[in-house]
Structure 1
Amino acid sequence: MKFLLSFITVLFLFFQSGDLDALRNAYSKANSSNEGAKNFIELADKSSSSDALTKGYKAAAEILEAKVTTEKNKRKSFVKSGVTELESVIKSNPNNVELRLIRMSVQENIPKIVGYSKNLKEDKAYILSNYSKQNTALKTYIKKFAMQSKTMTATEKNSLK
């Protein structure tokens, strides 16, 4: 019986981590094209997990939906509800580096006129100071993001090893 429970737990964690990897991969491509954005939004919508990271990615998808929607009057509501959800998740999980990375990437890429960029320096500092404590997969993801980041300097990018 214990073996069966252990096996089910391992299977659950494996598939949950697969969902997270798929979200990460789709998110890293989301800003490169409307097609990439739509794929990420669709994947986030289908994700059934309710953990903090999935909620963070879903919030980012909602914000990104403002970019690809053809209904101009809905753009503001997508951004507003996505930002509210992302901030709520980060407030509940302030020590989660990946959530900070999501917020930093959103704030880097959202039009300046929206006024959602107040946490860039704070998030960058937090990510850099906690980078060494992360697992290998997350370190790789952070490095990939850093290489295309507009906020991180060349020195900061090189410090990520």
Structure 2
Amino acid sequence: MQLIFSFLTAFFLFFQSDLDALRNSYEKANSSTANTQSFINIAEKQTGSDAVTSAYKAAAKIMEAKIVTKNRKALVKSGATSLETIIKNNPNNVELRVIRMSVQENIPKIVGYSKNLKEDKMFIIDNYSRQNPALKTYIRKFAAQSKTMNAAEKNSLR
């Protein structure tokens, strides 16, 4: 029994460190081309197929369009379609909404992928209190730099 518990704990910690690496890299991805490339590389190496990992992979595909010269439209379309499908299948996952909101805030408006900003903002604010401490910290960091949230909304995430 202890062996099974030890295995499950080790598995959880291993998975959590991968998720932390994805989150940390994603936070920095928009600050430079090198950070974007680093995030894409980390996302591509992820073997998990859970919704959150898949959403970060979809975001990486969208971000790849910033640094390549060919197939930009196809990358954005593929990534956005994947992200929308993941959210449709997991509508109550706050982290997925944070990912989509950050993508939509940072993608050029001409692309036309920004219709969910208000919806995601309200969902994040309404469900913030039910999240674990690590995700709350991540959401606060995102909100601090968010272009969609005003000061009062940012302050409500305490």
**TM-score with structure 2 length normalisation?**
0.99
**2:109 corresponds to which residue?**
112
Per-residue CA deviations over 1:120-151 (Å, capped at 9, x if unaligned) read 00000000000011011000000000000000
Corresponding residue SS for 2:91: coil
Please show how residues 19-30 of structure 1 align to structure 2 within 5 Å: 19-30=18-29
**Count of matched residue positions in the alignment of Structure 1 and Structure 2:** 158
Structure 1, unaligned runs of 5 or more: none
- Name the CA distance, whole Å, in 2 between partners of 1:87 and 1:36: 24
Q: Residue 113 of structure 1: CA displacement?
A: 0.4
Measure the CA separation in 2 of the matches of 1:98 and 1:112. 23
TM-score by length of structure 1 reads: 0.97
Please, which runs of 5 or more residues in structure 2 have no aligned partner?
none
| Partner of residue 37, structure 1 | 36
Inter-partner Cα distance in structure 1 for 2:69 and 2:18: 28
Q: Which residue of 1 aligns with 2:74?
A: 77
Separation in 1, partners of 2:157, 2:121: 12
What is the identity percentage for the equivalent residue pairs of Structure 1 and Structure 2? 65
Deviations 1:93-135 (A, max 9, x none): 0000000000000000000001000100000000000001101
Detail structure 1 runs of 4+ shifted over 2 Å in the superposition.
none
1:63 aligns with 2:58: no
* Alpha-carbon offset, residue 158 of structure 1: 1.0
How far apart in 1 are the matches of 2:129 and 2:76?
32
- 2:120 corresponds to: 123
